[in-house]
């Protein structure tokens, strides 16, 4: 199976960000980790995020586990549920 590489910037350190190649699976895992981190910072449960985003809790669980490939509309709803911008979901983890 052919794995496409996705290029995302490394965490910014005041200098120009270097692009780091990722496979689609690595990207899903990183996105899931980011969603989970944002949810935990806000002290929300997966069920609370799911209710706010009008989705099932299992979808949130799969998203955080990196096993779900969400549509853009789903990510918008999750971002809104977490009270962050959509772009915040894609910022590098620190």
pLDDT number for residue 3: 54
Q: What is the DSSP letter of 54?
A: T
CATH class name, domain 5-89: mainly alpha
Q: Where are the domains of the chain?
A: 5-89
Distance CA 89, CA 30 (A): 10
Q: Quickly list DSSP for 31-75.
A: HHHHHHHHHHHTT--HHHHHHHTTS-HHHHHHHHHT-----HHHH
pTM, to two decimals: 0.76
pLDDT tens per residue across span 20-46: 677 889 989 999 999 999 999 999 999
Separation of CA 21 from chain center: 17
């Amino acid at each position: 199976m052919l794995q496409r590489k996705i290029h995302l910037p490394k965490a910014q350190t005041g200098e120009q960000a270097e692009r780091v190649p990722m496979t689609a699976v690595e990207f899903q895992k990183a996105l899931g980790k980011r969603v989970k981190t944002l949810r935990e910072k806000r002290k929300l449960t997966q069920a609370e995020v799911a209710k706010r985003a009008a989705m099932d809790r299992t979808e949130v669980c799969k998203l955080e586990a990196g096993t779900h490939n969400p549509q853009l509309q789903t990510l918008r709803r999750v971002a809104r549920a977490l009270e962050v911008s959509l772009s915040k979901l894609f910022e590098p983890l620190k």
